[in-house]
């Protein structure tokens, strides 16, 4: 999905990216059928990744509230062996985590070789929500640092480069929804009893900072999309299209890995007659 890949270091305006785009597929039925096939491919690739045991894949999902991070996980990784994939959501830092650098709590959650790891929100929150609410969330010792965000972008790039050099492949997806689509999804949560547990006053509070978040995302996407750890701006107003784009990108990436399951240690066992 190269048309959604962030390249270069040009300024990004998210308003110019169509959150309703569905190019590449004729209709939802076609997309759903292809997504089913892609999801099975991901499951098959994961098995080979696990057996090979020399590489890992880290998938990062970021997006505004209601953009579909949970739904993406369920749809795209629904057939993957649970033993070979794990999902981690980064919540508000604990006092212990705050006493360290902002990446300290991240490294131990990086997938081991042979695994697929999914970050449902990630360390990028430290250049997104912390930036939008820096008066409340930024430690006093950092508030006077003028180049703080540029410095954090650089640290993130170095961190991701180190992971890639250690054969942890990284795919980063920004689930791009329109403000109107978020409104519709919030109303759906509000009015559907089975979804009401997802809805809280914090959602409405954060929605009031929509423009600030868009600017923070534009800056982060621009400065941290690299050849080794690219960002994809995924149109996500149509859930079925979002799933198709992400599944396509992951399946393609896994398919390019040079995976070689280890040979049996005792080849004589291959000729043993099993009664």
Whole-number pLDDT of residue 1:
67
Whole-number pLDDT of residue 110:
97
10-residue mean pLDDT profile of the chain (275 residues): values are: 86 95 91 96 95 96 96 96 94 91 95 97 96 92 90 98 98 98 96 92 94 97 96 98 97 92 82 88
Whole-number pLDDT of residue 215:
97
Whole-number pLDDT of residue 259:
87
265 CB-near residues (< 8 Å, 6+ apart): none
**Exposed/middle/buried for 222, CB within 10 Å: 0-12, 13-18, 19+?**
middle
SS3 25: coil
pTM of the model: 0.94
Please give the structure tokens belonging to residue 184: 């519709």
User: Considering just the CA atoms, what is the radius of gyration of the chain in Å?
Assistant: 20
* Domains defined along the chain, listed by start: 2-271 (3.40.50.300)
């Amino acid at each position: 999905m190269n048309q959604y890949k962030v390249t270069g270091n040009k300024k990004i305006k998210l308003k110019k990216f169509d959150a309703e785009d569905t190019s590449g597929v004729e209709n939802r039925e076609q997309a759903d059928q292809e997504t089913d096939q892609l999801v099975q491919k991901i499951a098959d690739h994961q098995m080979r990744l696990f057996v090979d045991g020399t590489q890992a894949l880290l998938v990062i999902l970021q997006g505004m509230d209601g953009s579909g991070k949970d739904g993406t996980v369920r749809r795209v990784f629904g057939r993957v062996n649970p033993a070979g994939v794990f999902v981690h959501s980064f919540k508000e830092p604990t006092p212990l985590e705050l006493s360290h650098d902002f990446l300290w709590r991240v490294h131990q959650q990086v997938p081991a070789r042979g695994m697929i790891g999914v970050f449902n929100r990630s360390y990028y929150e430290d250049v997104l929500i912390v930036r939008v609410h820096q008066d409340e969330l930024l430690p006093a010792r950092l508030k006077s640092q003028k180049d703080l965000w540029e410095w954090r972008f650089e640290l993130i790039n170095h961190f991701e480069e180190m992971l890639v050099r250690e054969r942890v492949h990284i795919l980063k997806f920004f689930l791009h929804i329109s403000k109107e689509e978020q409104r519709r999804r919030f109303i759906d949560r509000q009015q559907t009893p089975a979804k009401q547990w997802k809805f809280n006053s914090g959602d409405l509070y954060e929605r009031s900072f929509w423009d600030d978040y868009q600017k923070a995302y534009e800056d982060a996407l621009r400065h941290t999309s690299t050849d080794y750890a690219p960002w994809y701006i995924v149109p996500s107003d149509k859930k079925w299209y979002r799933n198709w784009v992400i599944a396509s990108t992951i399946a393609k990436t896994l398919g390019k890995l040079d995976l070689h399951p280890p040979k049996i240690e005792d080849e004589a066992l291959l000729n043993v007659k099993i009664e």
